Amino acid sequence: MSWLLAFDDEMPLARGVAQALGWPLHEVRRHRFPDGETRLRLPPRLPQRVALLRGLQQPNAKLTELLLAAAGARELGVSQLALVSPYLAYMRQDIAFEPGQAVSQRHVGQALAQWFDEVITVDPHLHRVASLDDVLSGRRGIALSAAGLLGDWVARHVRDAILLGPDEEAAQWVDTAARAHGLEHAVCRKQRHGDREVTVALPDLDLRGREVVLIDDVASTGRTLIAAAQGAQARGASAVDVAVTHALFVGDAMAELAAAGVRHVWSTDTVPHASNAISVVALLAGALRAG
């Protein structure tokens, strides 16, 4: 019998997954000391197989939590320890763009591979790397995709939608989202000039009177989506909606998307956010059941 462990701020998703599997769910309690250190308390008795659910939005403090939780679980006798990280951070830097840059995807992957036997995640940002196994040096990585769920949602809520990926990396998610429903789709070309400065060139499409849905794996500052939305409107789109897997939406992202005229923003519940509309519970439960 496996147990699922989770932290207080991710209990709604964890409850759904535990319920779908019929697994006991237990909380990892944490105390933050005034100086910023963290104390964790795991259930004092654990079975041999445990899965820990921890999304890595706002990742830096959580990486310390993972280090402590994994080491603590091993000391309590856990032999098979899986990490279920619905959003896996640090996947976007997969090469050194300038000499001296630490390739965070590789280094975070190596740390996770030391602590966990298996990592399950949803739509990790793998661009120049073929699979999650390659990131996890010797451990098993399971990369699920919510893109099909985004496509199902769009097909139910937007009539005759055209799906647009804001950059070429989004082709993998846009293709999958479009496939089951035969939706028209294309990708843009993006140039990033800074954290909040991007330009997006649209493909040569007539969007007059069309309802466009922008599909991406992750929205952070929202600037990529805003630039793509503005481009679609300039081409005559009658409405622009957004459907993303991971809703980081930091700072003023949601306000700026609304100001840019975006009609609906939909996301999955990999990251808790007001835009969550599509659940990945069945996806995660399926992977854990199969494991």
Residue 175 phi/psi, 5-degree rounding, is -60, -45
Residue count, binding to ligand R5P (CB under 6 A): 16
Q: Which stretch binds ligand R5P (CB under 6 A): 7-15, 105-113, 213-221, 280-288?
A: 213-221
Closest to ligand R5P by CB, 81 or 278: 278
Closest to ligand R5P by CB, 28 or 219: 219
Residue 210 in contact with ligand R5P, rule: CB under 6 A: no
Q: Which residues lie closer than 8 Å to 77 by C-beta, 6 or more apart?
A: 46, 48
Residue 217 in contact with ligand R5P, rule: CB under 6 A: yes
Closest to ligand R5P by CB, 81 or 265: 265
Residue 176 in contact with ligand R5P, rule: CB under 6 A: no
3-state secondary structure of 87: coil
Q: Which stretch binds ligand R5P (CB under 6 A): 10-18, 68-76, 161-169, 178-186?
A: 161-169
Q: How far is the CB of 108 from ligand R5P (least distance, A)?
A: 16
Interface residue with ligand R5P, options 207, 219, 257, 271 (CB under 6 A) = 219
Residue 221 in contact with ligand R5P, rule: CB under 6 A: yes
Residue 27 in contact with ligand R5P, rule: CB under 6 A: no
Tell me how far apart the alpha carbons of residues 34 and 54 are, in angstroms, rounded to a whole number.
23
Q: Environment class of residue 188 by beta-carbon count within 10 Å: exposed (0-12), middle (13-18) or buried (19+)?
A: buried
Tell me how far apart the alpha carbons of residues 166 and 230 are, in angstroms, rounded to a whole number.
11
Measuring CA to CA, which residue among 79, 14, 43 is closest to residue 285?
A: 14
Query: What string marks each residue from 81 to 110 as x (binds ligand R5P by CB under 6 A) or -?
Result: -----------x------------------
How far, in Å, are 41, 150, 216, 217 from residue 157 at the CA level? 44, 11, 17, 19
How far is the first Cα of the chain from the last one, in angstroms, to the nearest whole number? Answer: 12
Interface residue with ligand R5P, options 218, 243, 283, 284 (CB under 6 A) = 218
Tell me how far apart the alpha carbons of residues 99 and 173 are, in angstroms, rounded to a whole number.
31
Interface residue with ligand R5P, options 105, 176, 220, 245 (CB under 6 A) = 220
Q: Environment class of residue 245 by beta-carbon count within 10 Å: exposed (0-12), middle (13-18) or buried (19+)?
A: buried
Tell me how far apart the alpha carbons of residues 273 and 262 are, in angstroms, rounded to a whole number.
17
Q: How far is the CB of 227 from ligand R5P (least distance, A)?
A: 8
Which entry of 54, 62, 125, 190 is annotated as an active-site residue?
190
Site residues (CB under 6 A) for ligand R5P?
Answer: 92, 125, 166-167, 169-170, 198, 216-224
Q: What residues are annotated to the active site?
A: 190
